[in-house]
A and B are shown apart, each in its own frame.
Chain A
Amino acid sequence: MAHPPENHRPTVLKGIGVSPGIVLGPVFHLNRDRLRYPRRRIEPAEVAPEQARFEDAVARAAANIEDLIQDLPEELREHSGILESQRLMLKDRMLYDRTLRIIEEEGVNAEWALEKALAHVRGLFRQIRDPYIRDRVEDVEYVSRQLLRLLTGQRETDIDEIDEPAIVVAHDLSPADTTRMRPDRILAFLTDVGSRTSHTAIMARSLGIPAVVGLENATGAIAPGEQVIVDGMTGEVIVGPDETMRRHFLERREKCIRQRLDFIHHSHLPAETRDGYRVKIKANIELLDEIPTVIEYGAEGIGLFRTEFLYLASRSLPSEDTLYRAYREVAERLAPYPVTIRTLDIGGDKFVSTVSLGDEINPALGLRATRLCLKEPKLFRTQLRAILRASVHGDVRILFPMISGHMEILAVKEHLEATREELRREGVPFRDDLPVGIMIEVPTAVTMADVLAREVDFFSIGTNDLIQYALAIDRVNEHVAHLYEPLHPGVLRLIRQATEAAHQAGIEVAMCGEMAGEATYVPVLLGMGLDELSMNALAIPRVKRMIRLSDQEACRRLAGDLLAASTAREVRERLADFLDQHYPGDFEAATDLYTALRAEDTAASTA
């Protein structure tokens, strides 16, 4: 094994962390892009043998894939579809027939002909707008590389050659590569290319192997045998770490493992404080494939199901049936837990190509969310029908975003009632008493909260927008984005006011913004008396843990203290002290805050 030079300085590479875990180990290079092959013209007499050579390579590649499918371990069985589609690609006329034809018509050798056929396929894929389908060109590339390998007789290094635990570095990995990765030998993998949705990322997560993709030049920057530290969560890769870094990372790793074990043991325990205050913990989701994680991480339902993806994914507006099927699926898979479906929240910084919105000077304050739905009743009604129809398949709730006052909630409820009437007339079943909630994200919704609370069954505070509107900061505007501050005392007061109004009216109040998923803010939110927190599923175990370590009485006092503060900085300092005092085993939470304070100091000194 090669050793790095003595006076080697550590380098940090940053990629996209797609599968969590921290590991340290030597690098094994999986060469996937060094294939060299001849390009030559052939004589007419050579055409038939050259074609036969290609056909033979295809047959052998197909047999290899067949073997892989047979040997697939149980936990990866569901991914066999990827291999199956690769097998079909081998014989696809775009690749197979075309290569054979090019050999004959252009008089070139099989490798060259295949390369030409592949170039054509690449060109077609490049024009595809849908990223998920466009990325399938990876499979075509992989299949072609296999064929070239067989044609040239060149060997690529093989995953099976790894005989001691190592971190695999490659330009790219195919699904077939990852199916052969044994978690006991492969510590992690790093690739130059790739995205969060690539098959390899998905499979890394199902195998539980830490992975960082999109490193751009991991293959060039890291020498074989070199030691690296990989953080599959942050996407950080440290090449040739020094002693201090090693110690630091090994500590973090140990903590990570302990935490993960703790999470698995405890993620299904209720989120209850030491003094018996029970908070509902739910997940925010956007895509249906997040559901298994939601369940694994111990969510008690979905507090925010964003429905925009159905609109973003299609060229035309999705039909009522399409919407209905998606909503129904989520409701059924989560049952008996509740699913809160948020009606369309587009406009502002979220665009949908199928809904034409004029250019607006200030879209954050423009035609968006419920405002847009009220202006486009047909769009709105279709969605309401789909949600109502899905309501008989589980515990469905409906949530209207960006309500700014009483008139809007009345208008929305009118549409809902009219839709119900329509379904009744048609004899279509739906749940009559489906709970209706509104998002509290406009400051006037807070000041009118006592009035609005009489109209609905629950509130859900959307902190991202509430903070933006309360502080008059367009998050998309780079000049002011840094002023965004969840711990601004003014923001805390709004949260408090909305919560109190809800409780006085006897309804529950949830929070579904980013703020709800920050473990550091847990004591603040507990102290404010929120009934439910909804967050990214991955944040759930840590937040639940914070809640179980908490004492609500103490949090209540803290909240009172923070509400009396006059600056965000003061809030942060008091909260950091509180965390130090009450969660001594969990320095990370306090550290986060101290880091923020330092950043603030730097900003102030350079201003």
Chain B
Amino acid sequence: MTISNRLGLHARPAARFARMASGFRSRVWLVRDGEAVDGKSILEVLTLACPKGTRLIIRASGPDAQLAVDTLCQLVTDSFGELD
């Protein structure tokens, strides 16, 4: 996945990501350059520091892992629904 919204994974997109991730029962990780953080934690997602153009891997394990990965990938692809 590549972060494509202008300001990168800043507060609002990080909030959307963490909130959406929290909706799944599976554990969700966001991985960049081999560093993995808890996708359900807005602070961990923020401190992963992903400016625009960052390449990320979304990983999940648990009962709804596939759905979680698909949904979250879609969120990133859609630039978090951000128009700016």
A315, B53: Cβ atoms closer than 8 Å: yes
Q: Which residue of A lies closest to B32 (CB)?
A: A315
Question: Which residues 1-35 of B sit at the A interface, judged by CB distance below 8 A?
Answer: 2, 4, 6-12, 14-15, 18-19
B51 with A314: CB separation less than 8 A: yes
Interface string of A285-315 (1 = CB under 8 A from B): 0011100000000000000000000100111
Q: What 1/0 mask marks residues of chain A from 102 to 130 whose CB sits below 8 Å from any chain B CB? A: 00000000000000000001001101111
Distance from A378 Cβ to chain B, minimum over Cβ atoms (Å): 16
Chain A: number of interface residues, binned into ranges: 35 or more
Select which of A93, A125, A326 is within 8 A of B38 by beta carbon: A93
Q: Is the CB of A310 within 8 A of B47?
A: no
Q: Contacts A93-B41, A94-B43 given: A132-B7 contact, CB under 8 Å? A: yes
Quote the shortest CB–CB distance from B83 to chain A (angstroms). 8
Partner of B41, one of A94, A134, A288, A322: A94
Which one of A63-71, A79-87, A435-443, A543-551 contacts B?
A: A79-87
User: A134 CA to B47 CA in the complex, in Å?
Assistant: 8
CB distance from B10 to the nearest CB of A (A): 5
Q: In the complex, A310 Cα to B54 Cα: how many Å?
A: 12
How many Å lie between the Cα of A318 and that of B2 in the bound state? 10
Q: Are A124 and B41 in contact (CB under 8 A)?
A: no
C-alpha gap A329/B14 in the complex (Å): 22
Given A89-B42, A125-B47, A136-B46, check contact A316 B6 (CB 8 Å). Answer: no
Bound complex: CA A596 to CA B42 (Å): 51
Residue B67 lies at the interface, judged by CB distance under 8 Å to chain A: no
Nearest Cβ distance between residue B72 and chain A, in whole angstroms?
Answer: 16
In the complex, whether A269 has a CB less than 8 A from a CB of chain B is no
Question: What chain A residues lie within 8 Å of B54 (beta carbons)?
Answer: 314-315
- A132 to B14 Cα, complex, angstroms: 13
A133 lies within 8 A of B8 (CB): yes
Task: Report if A140 contacts B (CB, 8 A).
Answer: yes
The smallest beta-carbon distance between A335 and chain B, in angstroms, is: 15
Closest chain B CB from A416 CB (angstroms) = 24
Closest to B51 in A: A130
In the assembly, what is the distance between CA of A95 and CA of B18, in Å? 14
B9 surroundings in chain A (CB, below 8 A): 133
Q: Which of B11, B55, B84 contacts A85 (CB 8 A)?
A: B11
A258 within 8 A of B: no
- How far is the CB of A291 from the nearest CB of chain B, in Å? 8
- Chain A CB within 10 Å — which of B4, B42, B49, B54 has the most? B42
B14 to A, closest residue via Cβ: A85
Bound CA span A375–B9, Å: 33
Any A CB within 8 A of the CB of B52: yes
Q: In the bound complex, what is the Cα–Cα distance between A139 and B46 (angstroms)?
A: 11
B10–A318 contact, CB under 8 A? no
In the complex, per-residue mask of A305-348: 1 if CB is within 8 Å of any chain B CB, else 0 = 00000100111111101100110010000000000000000000
In the complex, whether A600 has a CB less than 8 A from a CB of chain B is no
Q: When the two chains form their complex, are residues A289 and B6 in contact, meaning their CB atoms are under 8 A apart?
A: yes
Could you tell me if B42 and A132 are in contact, using CB atoms closer than 8 angstroms? no
- Cα distance A478–B84 when bound, in Å? 38
**B25 smallest CB distance to A (angstroms):** 16
Contact across chains for A316 and B53 when beta carbons are under 8 A apart: yes
Residues of A within 8 A of B11 (CB): 81-82, 85, 136, 139
Query: Would you call B12 and A81 a contact (CB within 8 A)?
Result: yes
Contact of A121 among B7, B38, B43 (CB under 8 A): B43
Q: How far is the CA of A125 from the CA of B49 in the complex (A)?
A: 8
Chain B CB within 8 A of A92 CB:
yes
Partner of B12 from the list A85, A125, A313, A321 (CB cut-off 8 Å) is A85
Q: Are B6 and A287 in contact (CB under 8 A)?
A: yes
Chain B residues lying within 8 Å of A325, measured Cβ to Cβ, are 4, 79
Q: Give A310 to B11 CA distance when docked, in angstroms.
A: 19
Contact of B43 (CB < 8 Å), options: A89, A129, A316, A322: A89
Chain A residues with CB below 8 A from B52, complex form: 310, 313-314, 318, 322
Q: How far is the CB of B60 from chain A (nearest CB, A)?
A: 17
Instruction: Please determine whether A322 and B53 come into contact, CB atoms closer than 8 angstroms.
Output: yes
Query: Does A480 make an interface contact (CB < 8 A)?
Result: no
Per the bound structure, the CA–CA distance linking A87 and B45 in Å amounts to 15
- In the complex, the answer to whether B46 meets A133 with C-beta atoms within 8 Å is yes
Q: Measured between alpha carbons, how far is A213 from B53 in the docked complex, in Å?
A: 30
Q: What is the distance, in angstroms, from A117's C-beta to the closest C-beta of chain B?
A: 10
Find chain B residues with CB under 8 A from A85 CB: 11-12, 14-15, 42
Query: Which residue in B15, B43, B79 is a CB contact (below 8 Å) of A140?
Result: B43
- B53 contacts A318, C-beta separation under 8 Å: yes
Complex: A315 Cα to B3 Cα, angstroms: 12
Q: Check B4 against A88 for contact (C-beta < 8 Å).
A: no
Could you give, for residues 381-412 of chain A, a 1 whenever the CB lies within 8 Å of some chain B CB and a 0 otherwise? Answer: 00000000000000000000000000000000
Taking a contact as CB atoms under 8 Å apart, the answer to whether B84 and A289 are in contact is yes
Given A287-B6, A289-B84, A133-B49 contact (CB < 8 Å): yes
CB neighbours of A88 from chain B (8 A): 15, 18-19, 42
Q: Closest Cβ of chain A: how far from B16's Cβ, in Å?
A: 8
In the complex, chain A residues whose CB is within 8 Å of the CB of B41? 92-94
Contacts of B49 in A (CB 8 A): 127-130, 133-134
Which residue on chain A has the smallest CB distance to residue B12? A81
| Docked complex Cα distance between A321 and B10 (Å) | 20
Query: Chain B 49-78, CB within 8 Å of chain A: the 1/0 string?
Result: 111111100000000000000000000000
* Nearest Cβ on chain B to A311's Cβ, whole angstroms: 9
Q: How far is the CA of A289 from the CA of B5 in the complex (A)?
A: 12
Please give me the residue from chain B that is nearest to A312 by CB atom. Answer: B51
Nearest first, the 5 closest Cβ-Cβ pairs linking A and B are: A314-B53, A85-B15, A81-B12, A128-B49, A94-B43
What residues make up the interface of B, taking CB atoms closer than 8 Å to A? 2, 4, 6-12, 14-15, 18-19, 38, 40-44, 46-47, 49-55, 79, 83-84
Instruction: List 12 contacting pairs A-B, 8 Å CB cutoff, sorted by A.
Output: A84-B19, A85-B15, A88-B15, A92-B18, A94-B41, A94-B44, A127-B49, A313-B53, A314-B52, A314-B53, A322-B53, A329-B83
- Beyond contacts A133-B10, A133-B50: 5 other A-B pairs, Cβ-Cβ < 8 A, are A93-B44, A125-B46, A289-B84, A315-B51, A319-B2
